[in-house]
Homo-oligomer: A and B are copies of this chain.
């Protein structure tokens, strides 16, 4: 018989984990707990949980507890359940920074095992009503076992969470936080700072084209959430910022000293490194190949493109409208799974009198 799972906090993440684990032979019963009775009701109705329980009752029955509430609630939750836990219980979470969480998990009763968790997927809209059983499919899901947690306990938790379809990675909490600082938190600060640099001046914003919008997209995220994320990972973010500022000062120096050779080397190295990022958003899937085409800009045109690809059995794995011309035409980038498919796509598009080429 699989373990009983208690999910604490039935929002987008908790609800989606529940839906993803449903029906898995790796799981016995999914118990849900949320302070909002309407959310509990909705979670039961959607089938995200099998049964509802208070925090304490749920904790008594649970073999695995997954905290899906904000980090700030963890100390109170741990205090409320610590005396109800069975020996062998595994406690994990879904918060986006891990070192701070592992410190909160440091003083659990003996025979209770902590493994931090970070499913790296978010939804477009919050709450149980947007819960989605596929939210974690191909997403990276990091586990950070506490120093005292035996490997077989981590393996047991991983076997359960793997049924969400996520790619599981195990690493130390400190390394997780250093990585997320570098690839998420510092880029966020940089995006905000680039927007600040415009001072909101009208002529600057009017001239800001695609590149600026791409680079600063994440600066449009919820500032309350991001303040919390940045402070919960404060030390790695400050260290990362120091290094980022050093790199920028280095580039400034090269410009000042007219060192064209070294500036070229830095730009080329960054271009090369970036080409090694896995291309599909959520996962570790192989990259795709871009086809560029020029089409009239009118209702139905994306449909036509899609039909042409569909008729050739070519899957569109990415699509971006690069230029738009009011009522006239546009340039569209279509990502397809392979170079072969890209050549096929260009041929098919040309047959339909669409100008197209492989990028």
Which residues does A use to contact B, with CB under 8 Å? 120-121, 123-125, 132, 134, 137-138, 140, 142, 165, 169, 171, 175, 179-180, 182-184, 186-198, 200, 203-221, 223-224, 226-227, 230-231, 234, 237-238, 240-245, 247-249, 251-252, 255-256, 258, 260, 263-264, 266-285, 292, 294, 297-326, 328-329, 331, 333, 357, 359
Given A299-B315, A302-B306: A195 in contact with B273 (beta carbons within 8 A): yes
Pick from B197, B241, B243, B285: contact of A244, CB below 8 A.
B197
Q: Report whether A207 and B274 are in contact in the complex, using a CB–CB cutoff of 8 Å.
A: no
Question: What residues on B are CB-neighbors of A284 within 8 Å?
Answer: 206
Q: Report whether B192 and A281 are in contact in the complex, using a CB–CB cutoff of 8 Å.
A: no
Question: What residues on B are CB-neighbors of A138 within 8 Å?
Answer: 324-326
Q: Report whether A192 and B267 are in contact in the complex, using a CB–CB cutoff of 8 Å.
A: yes
Q: Report whether B309 and A194 are in contact in the complex, using a CB–CB cutoff of 8 Å.
A: no
Q: Report whether A210 and B329 are in contact in the complex, using a CB–CB cutoff of 8 Å.
A: no
Pick from B204, B243, B306, B333: contact of A300, CB below 8 A.
B306
Pick from B200, B210, B231: contact of A258, CB below 8 A.
B231
- Binding site of A, secondary structure by majority: helix, strand, loop or mixed? helix
Pick from B165, B258, B266, B312: contact of A192, CB below 8 A.
B266
Q: Report whether B245 and A277 are in contact in the complex, using a CB–CB cutoff of 8 Å.
A: no
Q: How many copies, total?
A: 2
Q: Report whether A183 and B198 are in contact in the complex, using a CB–CB cutoff of 8 Å.
A: yes
Q: Report whether A245 and B243 are in contact in the complex, using a CB–CB cutoff of 8 Å.
A: no
Pick from B217, B260, B270, B316: contact of A302, CB below 8 A.
B316
A193 to B269, CA, bound (A): 10
Pick from B245, B248, B277, B303: contact of A208, CB below 8 A.
B277
Pick from B219, B237, B249, B322: contact of A281, CB below 8 A.
B322
Question: What residues on B are CB-neighbors of A269 within 8 Å?
Answer: 196
Pick from B207, B237, B316: contact of A255, CB below 8 A.
B237
A318 to B331, CA, bound (A): 11
Given A230-B255, A271-B221, A282-B323: A193 in contact with B310 (beta carbons within 8 A): no
